[in-house]
Amino acid sequence: MIFSNWLRRIDGYALTWRLPVIIWQVLFFLAPLVFMIAMSFFLVKNYQMKEAFEFVNWVKIFSKGYFWSSYGLSFGLAFLATITATCIAFPASYCLAFKLSETARRWAIFFLIIPFFTSYLVRTFSWYVLLAESGVINNIIGYLGIGPIKMLNTMFGTMIGYLTLTLPLVIILQTLSMASIDKNLIEASHNLGAGRVRAIFSVIIPSARIGLIIGALFCFILSFGDFVSPYYLGGSNPPTLPILIIDTTKSGQQWPRAAVIATIMMVTLMLVALSAIKIAYKKR
């Protein structure tokens, strides 16, 4: 009976639902990534890519000083964005999770989802116009007798862009994890004489740890892989890794070298993600 049931599931019904995603993702998600890693060992001769297994591209990239400065910059910027976004988001998420009604919180999250679906390019362009030397913000502070302050083509510009990209998501993830904390736990800590700050550090942050770290991780992934902000707001000097990938692919015909950079980025992100998950789920 069980066996025949199993047999019936095997042919047809179960497979109909199970297979599509496997086939699609293997063909069009895994295969491209695997092929890209393989491509990092290909050769380029006379502007033609030749399939091969050589370490030339890896050696080339690793020996280039500009690659390492780009790597350091990208990692540093993404890390800075992660810390900044996490800290800036926390009070906002705290307020959303504990100080607002259920209805208000739902509306807030609805509004936080909106930016996710508005063109990031257009938002970046808006910041470009706002932050420019003769732009709106410098206009305003000019009336107050300050400025103009150079904000475009600085690290500040890049950070504004990264935060525009990541802040809504970080706040959503933090809020959801904090809203699910048992309120009795917090009340108990107050009854035991813990003040507001103490309660935040010894009850709320540990309980919401997973959400906080996952939020930070997504912030890192998004910032590390973004080319729009460091290019248009940060001035790309020196370029970050994503910009390097674009330059190498689009102008140089050097796809294998771009593949080396992309592979290194992927490995970096994997290591970051694994350590983040380890921290998130380790026993207290």
> Of 32 and 76, which CB lies nearer to other proteins in the complex structure?
32
Token pair of 276 as six digits: 């983040």
- Check: CB of residue 37 under 8 Å from CB of residue 259: yes
143 token code pair: 């009336």
- Selected binder of other proteins within 43, 92, 149, 280 (CB under 8 A): 92
According to DSSP, the residues that pair with 45 across neighbouring strands are: 48
**Minimum separation from the CB atom of position 9 to other proteins (A):** 8
x/- binding map, residues 160-189, to other proteins, per CB under 8 A? ---xx--xx--x--------------xx--
128 interacts with other proteins by CB under 8 A:
yes
**For the stretch 10-40, what's the b/e string if a residue is b when 16 or more beta carbons lie within 10 angstroms of its beta carbon?**
eeeeeeeeeeeeeeeeeeeeeeeeeebeebb
272, 278 Cβ separation under 8 angstroms: no
- Residue closer to other proteins by CB (options 33, 52) is 33
Shortest reach from residue 270's CB to other proteins, in Å: 10
Binding of residue 123 to other proteins (CB under 8 A): yes
Measured on CA atoms in the order 17, 33, 51, 243, is the torsion positive or negative?
positive
Under rule CB under 8 A, which residues in 6-45 are in contact with other proteins? 13-14, 16-22, 24-26, 28-33, 35-36, 39
- Closest CB to other proteins among residues 16, 46: 16
